[in-house]
Structure 1
Amino acid sequence: MTFNFKEIVTVFMVLFAVIDIIGNVPIIIDLRKKAGHIQSEKASIIAGVILIAFLFLGKSILNLIGIDVSSFAVAGSLILFFIALEMILGITLYKDEATNPMTASVFPLAFPLIAGPGSLTTLLSLRAEYSTENIIAAVLLNVIVIYIVLKTSSRIEKLIGQNGINIIRKVFGVILLAISVKLFAHNIKILFA
Structure 2
Amino acid sequence: MRGAPVLTRSHMDTAIAAPTLITSAVALFTICNPIGTLPVFLQVTEGRTPAQQRRIGLLVGFAVIVILAVSLLAGTWVLQIFGIDITAFKIAGNLLVAAIGWAMLLARPSPVATNDPAGSPVVVPLAIPVIAGPGAIALAITFAHSYTSVIDYVAGLGIVIVVGLICSVVLYFGPFVAKLLGPAGMNVLTRIFGLLLLAIAVQSIVTSLGEALPGLTSTAS
Is the structural similarity TM-score above 0.5? yes
Aligned to 1:104: none
Q: Structure 1: which amino acid aligns with 2:177?
A: I
Cα pair distance change 1:174/1:113, threshold 3 Å? same
Match of 2:112 among 94, 107, 114: 94
Any conservation in 1 of the 2:87–2:208 contact (CA below 8 Å)? Answer: yes
Shift of 1:66: 0.5
Structure 1 stretch 110-119 or stretch 85-94: which is displaced more? 110-119
Task: Report the secondary structure of 1:108's partner residue.
Answer: coil
TM-score normalised by L of structure 2: 0.61
Match of 2:122 among 110, 114, 129: 110
CA distance in 1, matches of 2:213, 2:187: 38
CA distance in 2, matches of 1:124, 1:59: 14
Aligned to 2:168: 146
TM-score normalised by L of structure 1: 0.68
Cα pair distance change 1:76/1:139, threshold 3 Å? farther
Query: What are the ranges of 5 or more consecutive residues in structure 2 without an aligned counterpart?
Result: 1-14, 145-154, 215-221
Q: Structure 2: which amino acid aligns with 1:59?
A: T
CA deviation map 1:137-166 (0-9, x unaligned): 58844642432442x444333211122222
Q: Structure 2: which amino acid aligns with 1:98?
A: D
Shift of 1:47: 2.2
User: Within the alignment, does 1:85 sit opposite 2:102 as a pair?
Assistant: yes
Q: State which structure, 1 or 2, has the greater radius of gyration over its C-alpha atoms.
A: 2
CA distance in 2, matches of 1:42, 1:146: 5
Aligned to 2:218: none
User: Within the alignment, does 1:165 sit opposite 2:186 as a pair?
Assistant: yes
Q: Which has the higher contact order (CA 8 A, sep 6+)?
A: 1
Aligned residues: 181
CA distance in 2, matches of 1:129, 1:186: 18
Q: CA RMSD in A?
A: 3.8
Structure 1 stretch 87-96 or stretch 51-60: which is displaced more? 51-60
After superposition, residues 6-45 of structure 1 pair within 5 angstroms as 7-8=27-28, 10-13=30-33, 16-17=35-36, 20-25=37-42, 27=45, 30-32=48-50, 39=55, 43=59, 45=61
Any conservation in 2 of the 1:55–1:123 contact (CA below 8 Å)? Answer: no
CA distance in 2, matches of 1:67, 1:137: 26
